[in-house]
């Protein structure tokens, strides 16, 4: 059967009954500048990793705001922590710190899940 180049996409609807906001709360608590991110894309446009592989900092922001921790943990290790994104951010968001907080938060969440 021919598919004619089309595929179905996963639903992008957020199920707030299963929404996990632990990581988002953790990052916003430790880096309050993340609250003012307007997703302008300056960080993604200058990203060295994004120029070499399939990596997008705006996607990380979307994933953390949607509570998709599993998918986020697969993406976060692609960042090279070069800091270019922090330099070009018009809002002055410390994106390197946000990336580090996401990594730390994911490891803490995994540890707490393993203990339970």
Identify whether the C-beta of residue 29 lies closer than 8 Å to the C-beta of residue 98: no
What count of other Cβ atoms lies within 10 Å of the Cβ of residue 12?
A: 7
What is the spatial distance between Cα 52 and Cα 57, in angstroms, rounded to a whole number? Answer: 13
Parse the chain into domains and list their residue ranges: 22-115
CATH fold of the domain at 22-115: Fumarate Reductase Iron-sulfur Protein; Chain B, domain 2 (1.10.1060)
Tell me the per-residue pLDDT of 15-38, one tens digit each, with 9 for 90 and over.
666 777 889 999 999 999 999 999
pTM: 0.80
Tell me the per-residue pLDDT of 58-87, one tens digit each, with 9 for 90 and over.
899 888 988 888 889 889 999 999 999 999
């Amino acid at each position: 059967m021919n598919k004619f180049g089309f595929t179905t996409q996963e639903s992008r609807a957020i199920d707030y009954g299963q929404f996990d906001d632990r990581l988002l709360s953790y990052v916003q608590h430790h880096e309050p500048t993340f609250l003012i991110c307007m997703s302008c894309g300056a960080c993604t446009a200058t990203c060295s990793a994004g120029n070499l592989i399939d990596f997008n900092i705006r996607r990380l922001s979307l994933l953390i705001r949607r509570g998709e921790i599993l998918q986020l943990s697969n993406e976060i290790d692609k960042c090279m922590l070069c800091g270019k994104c922090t330099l070009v951010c018009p809002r002055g968001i410390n994106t390197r710190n946000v990336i580090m907080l996401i990594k730390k938060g994911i490891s803490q969440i995994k540890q707490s899940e393993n203990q339970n």
